Amino acid sequence: MISSQSLLIVGSLAFDSLEMPYGTFEYVVGGSTSFASIAGSLLTRGVRIVGVVGEDFPEDYLASLRGRSIDTVGVERVPGKSFFWRGRYSADLNTRETLDTQLNVFANFQPKIPASHRATPYLLLGNIHPQLQIDVLDQMEKPEFIAVDTMNYWISSEPETLAKLLKRTDLLIINDEEARQLSGIQNISRAAQDIRKRGPSHLIIKRGEFGALLFDDAGTFFCPGFPLEEVRDPTGAGDTFAGGLLGYVARHADTSPLTLRRAMFFGSALASFCVEGVGTTRIGEVTRAELDARIQSFVRLVDYGANLTLPVEEESR
Amino acid sequence: MISSQSLLIVGSLAFDSLEMPYGTFEYVVGGSTSFASIAGSLLTRGVRIVGVVGEDFPEDYLASLRGRSIDTVGVERVPGKSFFWRGRYSADLNTRETLDTQLNVFANFQPKIPASHRATPYLLLGNIHPQLQIDVLDQMEKPEFIAVDTMNYWISSEPETLAKLLKRTDLLIINDEEARQLSGIQNISRAAQDIRKRGPSHLIIKRGEFGALLFDDAGTFFCPGFPLEEVRDPTGAGDTFAGGLLGYVARHADTSPLTLRRAMFFGSALASFCVEGVGTTRIGEVTRAELDARIQSFVRLVDYGANLTLPVEEESR
């Protein structure tokens, strides 16, 4: 892969046990890096991942990632068990409760960026401790565009470290509750203004099934969620969105406003596949033809003929 | 006004007492017809309203509607008090609680459509008893397009009457909870399919600040809500949306898929003004220049350059 189109993703490789209203799925392979890298690989062959797994993580799964041209040289395998999360979803799948989190090998994770990856231009830092995200940045050679995910836990427990990270962030990707928590402002538009002043020139606020808002110097942009007839498992949808978005950016080697807006459609389309299956099963089998078809459905979903002028009104008579 | 561009709105003219987190506003003029007719009047001079008010309803308010070329010949004034609603909004304004409802003169309301209005081609039936909505239809001469609003109360208490009405409805406008209740289906896309089989060829499902979905024979269309920096009072936003939508349709004398999609932007833009002030104060002062500017902001909000093709990927090397 030519390096100008490459994307480095750092985050978790994990097992998830999912208690869904229709059944329980034990030890499903997940983690932000699994979802994001598969999504990215559907748009660019330049995806590289860095992470840590334990002895229990299936080598076949890593091989399947390599089969989609994802570079796994940066994945360390160390003694012990892989990161594990157990959660229970509500009947409508809109909320979930964490039942168990075992950091395992992730507890001592120190991301080491292989020399071959340090000049990667596009970077997606999944939701891990903000100090580890900074440690990754310190190993990179002038990345062109740094996208960062985080969560409520780090916003409340590591505000100072997160503040340092935000000063080096080009694009922060969080959900609406996290935006409210980070800014202390209830209104989303004003929260976005506040957060952008803290460093990120670009901010995406995800709103679940409803879509996502992008705030940048070009203004505010909205990309809807794709209305699905069946949702099986929302786990990883946000990571899939981010991976697809950055994959599109890397494919174009461009972060102009128009490219980022288009990238949101690809991220949202891929996220809509993700939630159709448990874990990475559905996103892992998406074909290029399926993606093209969903993008076309998306185009129709927002097509108003690009003309909102009012005609001259006929005179009263 | 030439009749081919006219719009008849039937619904409530009322007083609302609004307990907002920042203060209480007593006896604010409201009701679905107030909001919808003002919104419609910003897009077409052909708005006609039918409703009932008591002796306490300000004549000045009706005069102000006439001042915007709204025909109020169909408004009856009868002995007694006007319809009254008192509600309390939550701190984030996202939910509200009804504290008092007094039907007053509305209890015996029998809509009488003046002879001059019976050939109106576009019809918006606000949220009133479905039997009254049917009574209006029975007085009309072949309207071209019948839009209907309803609510959870009628869905549960008058299912049979509502079913009859739906068979005569071209466009049903409800929110997502009402769509779930009416269909008994949690998933919005499948709920929409079910509801369209009951009669309405067009269905709009409103999702509050997030926007609205249109389902018709041309497919599914999504129009976002406009991200506002300050919301003062959500009361009447749905009625404003519907009035703006139908006003745009009447202005164009057209219900083609593209016109309806564009109409949603105008409805959504007008609703975004509505919530900026208490009652009809803000929507009542919107100028054409303000509307044009907000429509342009809306265009930017959804502008991705209308091109979502993926470029050919450069070869690996």
Instruction: Show the domains of chain A with their CATH numbers.
Output: 8-301 (3.40.1190.20)
Residue written as token pair 């480095």:
A8
- Contact yes or no for A187 and B220 at CB 8 A: no
pLDDT of residue A306: 81
Which residues from B are below 8 Å from A295, CB to CB? 308
Could you read off the pLDDT of A8-34 as tens digits, one per residue? 999 999 999 999 999 999 999 999 999
- The pLDDT of residue A316: 42
User: Are the beta carbons of B219 and A261 separated by less than 8 Å?
Assistant: no
Compute the Cα dihedral for A56, A112, A240, A207 and give only its sign. Answer: positive
Asked if A45's CB is within 8 angstroms of B308's CB, the reply is: no
Contact flag A224-B224 (C-beta cutoff 8 Å):
yes
* Cβ atoms B213, B204 nearer than 8 A: yes
* Nearest CA-CA distance, residue B131 and chain A, Å: 33
**B291: closest CA among B63, B32, B39?**
B39
Q: What is the pLDDT of residue B317?
A: 35
Closest CA to A127 of A106, A107, A148, A113: A148
**With a CB-CB cutoff of 8 Å, which residues 12-31 of chain A face chain B?**
none
Which one of A304, A307, A312 makes the best mutation probe of the B interface by having the most chain B beta carbons within 10 Å?
A304
Which distant-in-sequence residues (6+ apart) come within 8 Å of A79 by Cβ? A54, A55, A105
Helices (H), chain B: 32-41, 59-67, 130-139, 152-157, 159-167, 176-183, 188-197, 237-252, 257-274, 288-301
Q: Where are the beta strands (DSSP E) in chain A?
A: 7-10, 14-20, 23-30, 47-53, 71-77, 83-89, 96-102, 122-125, 145-149, 171-175, 202-206, 211-216, 219-224
Q: 70-99 in A: which are within 8 Å (CB) of B?
A: 92
Q: Enumerate the residues of chain B whose CB falls inside 8 A of the CB of residue A6.
A: none
Please give the residue that has the higher pLDDT: either B185 or A316: B185
Q: Is the dihedral of CA B265, B268, B274, B275 positive or negative?
A: negative
User: What is the value of ipTM here, to two decimals?
Assistant: 0.89
Shortest CA gap A107–chain B (Å)? 36
Q: Does A251 touch chain B (CB under 8 A)?
A: yes
Per-10-residue mean pLDDT of chain B, 317 residues long, equals 83 97 96 98 96 97 97 97 97 93 94 97 96 98 96 96 98 97 96 98 95 97 95 96 98 96 97 97 96 94 86 54
A265-285 tens-digit pLDDT? 999 999 999 999 999 999 999
Rounded to the nearest angstrom, the minimum Cα separation between B226 and chain A is 9
- A-contacting residues of B 165-204, CB under 8 Å? 186-190
Percent of chain A with pLDDT over 90: 93
**How are beta strands A14-20 and A7-10 bridged, if at all?**
unpaired
CB B245 within 8 A of CB B264: yes
Q: In what order do the strands lie in the sheet with A83-89?
A: A23-30, A14-20, A83-89, A96-102
Angle between helices A237-252 and A257-274 (to 10 degrees): 140
Among residues A70, A4, A86, which one has the least CA distance to residue A37? A70
Please give the helix or strand (H or E) that residue A82 lies within, else none: none
Report the mean per-residue pLDDT for chain A.
95
Closest CA–CA distance from residue A261 to any residue of chain B (Å):
5
Checking DSSP bridges between strand B7-10 and strand B14-20, what pairing results, if any? unpaired
Q: Which residue of chain B has the CA closest to A316? A: B1
pLDDT of residue A11: 97
Cβ within 8 Å, pair B44-A313: yes
Subunit contact B211:A207, Cβ cutoff 8 A: no
Amino acid at B7: L
Record: contact A224-B211, CB cut-off 8 A: yes
Q: What percent of chain B has pLDDT over 70?
A: 97
Q: How far, in Å, are A5, A191, B234 from residue A97 at the CA level?
A: 38, 26, 31
pLDDT score, position A308: 82
- For chains A and B, CB pairs below 8 A equal 136
Optimal mutation site among A6, A43, A301, A308, interface B, most CBs of chain B within 10 A: A308
Residue A68: phi and psi, rounded to 5, are -100, 25
Each residue of A253-280: b (16+ CB within 10 Å) or e?
Answer: bebebebbbbbbbbbbbbbbbbbbebbb
Exposure of A33 in the CB half-sphere (CA atoms within 13 A): 28
Whether the CB of A304 is below 8 Å from some CB of chain B: the reply is: yes
**Contact between B305 and A230 using a beta-carbon 8 Å cutoff:** no
